[in-house]
A and B are shown apart, each in its own frame.
Chain A
Amino acid sequence: MDYAIETVALTKIFSDWWGRAKVYAVDDLNLQVRPNEVFGLLGPNGSGKTTTIKMLLGLLHPTKGHAVILGGDGTDPKISARIGFLPEESYLYRFLNARETLDFYGRLFGLDSKTREMRIEALLEMVGLRAVASRPVGTYSKGMARRIGLAQALINDPDLLILDEPTTGLDPIGTRQIKDLIIKLAERGKTVLLCSHLLADVEDVCDRIAILYGGKVQAHGRVGDLLQKTNKRQIVTDAISDATADRIREILKQEHAECEISSPMERLETFFINTVVAAQQQAMPTSGAFSTTQIGGFLAGGVDKGDILDKLVAAPVSEKAQAGPVRTDRPQPQETVTPEPNKDLLSKLTQPATSSPAEPAEPDSEQPAQAVPETTVQQEQARKSILDELTGRKQPDGSTVRPSDDPREDGGDA
């Protein structure tokens, strides 16, 4: 079969000045990444992940072996036009602002000005940097630079996305959003090569992984296969009485099985996000801490995101993605991804005054009551003002939005 990425005995030896071999950075690496899968390349620092990527893209020459990427050479413009690449740090031109940065990369892809303009606005919206788009990126925080880096990797609507440590420098919300984005892109038929040592990131989104150490693959396969304990079963129930629990134990005893009953722990990630959202909805005075959540518009789980992605991604969800044999099974949402609360979170982030006040799925008791806005225009204004408030930007009419603007008033009314 045609792989999206295939390396054959790929080897990189760094030699000293005299040409003597010093370090095997990558040693006889054979990787196969199938089209339309999310492949995770894991490994500790210095295990050869980044070196492998650099060889794929022609930034380093392999000492031995070769790499085929999308059926060709990574340096061939025809191939590289279909690749999006985010290096391990977002190496940006410090003197350009966000819009100019994206425009520059768009021009390198030979996109016409209309397409560029459309995509730049969509991407800025998506990564939540529209409010600061006219500031030089040299003044950006690491997380903001990361977002622009991601945006530049997406400007050509790539078939293959190579992400090297995409979540470094991002707060948990940003991390979550990038992970959601990766899943969405995979659903739309893209191939993603994700390179990371943050295991949680990889576990959540990858279909298959390979673990590198010392430049060699130590283990590889489907995440589900690698992690599933086939000799165990897990049952999750609503809160039940101790009596019922005892009865279950009785039943299990007849099968000679041990069981452990406890209340499941919430994931720290989910808890963190819920806490931040709650604080945000109370419209607490912004400080530095809020600057991380300004990506409200980014990856809006509901309608917004779909629009942007559809605009950006020309290809709809492909049939191959749904039924093809190529598609490896994605880890069950229960196991890893927690889409339900997350979706709520994201819709809240973008629509603070949402019309559904109940939020039954939300276990967080701190959740404040919310007012129902009169019109969608107000909704839009409120959403904007939150973004502005988070970034400390001025409204288009020139007035600075104070932290205690719309949302708190709504809350007060309620």
Chain B
Amino acid sequence: MRRVWAVATNTIRQALRMKVAAIFIVLLLVLLPVMGYTASGDGTLKGRLQTFVSYGLSLTGLLLSLLTIIVSVYSVTSDIEHRQIYTVVTKPIRRYQLILGKLLGVIVLDVALLTLFAGIVYGFVVLTPRFAKATEEELTQIENEFFTARASLVPPQIDVSKEVDELYAKLLANDQLETAYPNSTPEEIRKYLSSRLRLEKRAAAVGQMLVWEFRDVHPTDPNRQSLFIRFKYDVSVTPPDEQVYGDWRIGDLRGLQTGNPVDTPVWRVPRKDPVRKFREIEVPASAVAKDGYLAVGFANPPWNSTVVLFPVEDGLEVLYKADTFLGNYIRGALLILLRLVFLACLGVMAASFLSFPVAILFCLVIFVTGATSGGIIESFGYMSRNVNLVYKYTIETIIQLLPQFDKASPTQFLIPARLITWSLIGRVVLVMVCIKATLLLALALIIFSFRELAKVVV
């Protein structure tokens, strides 16, 4: 361990003294404050904070990612290229210890720099409302919608497989399959049918009421906090003014069914909202029943002349404060750190057998792919019909091995003040670090342990 640490400190020294890290540090030290002053967002205080957190953390994450790639690759390849490795591996240190030392050095550097810059961003975010001339209303708004960490509850997906089977059998019996879905495989038809049926469950015809039930809702302080119902309407016929009326009931609606009185208040909120736009309804958190039960009901009033739908993916969710902003922010920084750990492993793996420029290129390709994995997977999804088998056993496997940074980006949680759950972090640790990064590291150790380190010179 002492030897590993010796290599680690040497790597940190190298990064700092060879000015590799210095460039990134200076860049961030200049850019972050500039952003702090110039970020304006949509003009409101909340928008300004959201923009700054988003850009500040993204920039920090991006630059530290690049720094991690460069330092981890450089510290290994330069040793080989400039042959300091001759004097190092001939000392009583195993080659894997050398690689682990390099990795440790990069990670320690990352932790230090991330703490520094995430701290600077946090400082700016916390101080901005004090120096901005904000109204009382704006301050309350950011307190509720930005400086918080809201847990999100989405209605569980309804199991429609049975109904799909029935419907499919019916279509098959009536010989309507081919006419309704020409040129489709049975799987595709089932997929289509199930999404149609799911949407039907979330559609309210005129005069009908939809009820979603949630259990295990536990706001930190029910008497002072609020619940937020975040929803998006879709309609079958768009009204002339693109507005839809809604009659919402929020609380313990079990009383309505059984007729028994309930202890907690039930809030009735009539509203008029634009379609296809996210809106939030705020009600006091005391609406949640003592046993953590909460129901949200939406009635489609008769004066709407359209069916109202809630899109399956993001049509409705319930948000409530589950943690402080700081706690959430720290978990966000942790997500960035996990990404950096992965990149450091990737860097030493590439450097264990590639020269500096090739290894950098390799890492950057993986990094960019990982940062846009959603789009790439989607694009492959479209071509999968024709090359299904080939795709399934080659590209899909490779894509599964690639990192998916965009799915664990902290800004997508911090901007809407969503709770970054420990279970998400656990998942990222398991998949990205314990499986993918460890695989890369093992590969690096094996390659590096068995390769010839001296150049062929005759």
Contact = CB atoms under 8 A, between A and B. Distances in A.
Interface stretch (B10-18, B176-184, B229-237): B10-18
Nearest to A57: B90
Nearest to B101: A108
Given A91-B82, A107-B3, A108-B6, A80 B90 contact: yes
Interface stretch (B61-69, B347-355, B410-418, B449-457): B449-457
Interface stretch (B91-99, B142-150, B162-170, B304-312): B91-99
A16 to B, nearest CB: 10
A142 to B, nearest CB: 15
B89 interface: yes
Given A87-B83, A91-B83, A93-B14, A60 B452 contact: yes
Contacts of A78: 92
Contact of A25 (B6, B7, B89, B458): B458
Contacts of A83: 90
A81 B91 CA distance: 6
A215 B410 CA distance: 60
B277 interface: no
Contacts of A48: 458
Interface in A73-118: 74-75, 77-78, 80-81, 83, 85, 87, 89, 91-93, 95-96, 100, 104-105, 107-110
A59 B452 contact: yes
Interface size class of A (residues with CB under 8 A): 35 or more
A78 B91 CA distance: 10
A61 interface: yes
B216 to A, nearest CB: 53
Given A77-B93, A105-B91, A91 B86 contact: yes
A60 B454 contact: yes
Given A105-B91, A108-B93, A91 B84 contact: yes
Contact of A85 (B18, B84, B87): B87
B92 A80 contact: yes
Interface in A94-151: 95-96, 100, 104-105, 107-110, 136, 149
Interface of A: 14, 23, 25, 46, 48, 50-51, 54, 57-61, 74-75, 77-78, 80-81, 83, 85, 87, 89, 91-93, 95-96, 100, 104-105, 107-110, 136, 149, 152, 156
Given A58-B89, A91-B82, A93-B14, A104 B6 contact: yes
Q: Which of A74, A75, A108 has the most CB of B within 10 A?
A: A108
Interface of B: 2-3, 5-7, 10, 13-14, 17-18, 82-94, 452-454, 456-458
| Residue from B13, B84, B87 whose CB has the most chain A CB atoms within 10 Å | B87
B87 A87 contact: yes
B87 A152 contact: yes
B452 A105 contact: no
Given A57-B90, A60-B454, 6 more contacts: A46-B458, A51-B457, A59-B90, A95-B14, A107-B6, A108-B7
Contacts of B92: 77-78, 80-81, 108-110
A172 to B, nearest CB: 26
A135 to B, nearest CB: 13
A108 B101 CA distance: 11
Contacts of B452: 59-61
Contacts of B5: 107
Contacts of A14: 456, 458
A215 to B, nearest CB: 9
B14 A110 contact: no
10 contacts: A50-B457, A51-B458, A59-B454, A75-B89, A80-B90, A81-B92, A91-B82, A91-B83, A93-B14, A108-B7
B90 A96 contact: no
**Highest count of chain A CB atoms <10 Å: which of B7, B85, B90:** B90
B91 A80 contact: yes
A109 B91 contact: yes
A14 B452 CA distance: 12
Given A93-B14, A95-B17, A108 B88 contact: yes
Contacts of A149: 87
A110 B92 CA distance: 8
10 A-B pairs with the lowest CB-CB distances in the bound complex, closest first: A77-B92, A107-B6, A95-B17, A59-B454, A81-B92, A108-B91, A91-B83, A54-B454, A87-B86, A85-B90
A51 B84 CA distance: 17
A174 B88 CA distance: 25
A320 B45 CA distance: 85
Contacts of B87: 85, 87, 91-92, 105, 149, 152
A136 B19 CA distance: 14
Contacts of A93: 10, 14, 84
A184 B134 CA distance: 81
A95 B13 CA distance: 8
A357 B258 CA distance: 119
A59 B453 contact: yes
A51 B455 CA distance: 10
A180 B52 CA distance: 67
A414 B299 CA distance: 116
Contact of A110 (B2, B86, B457): B2
A159 to B, nearest CB: 13
A59 to B, nearest CB: 4
B89 A59 contact: yes
Contacts of A96: 10, 13
A125 B329 CA distance: 53
Nearest to A79: B92
A58 B453 CA distance: 9
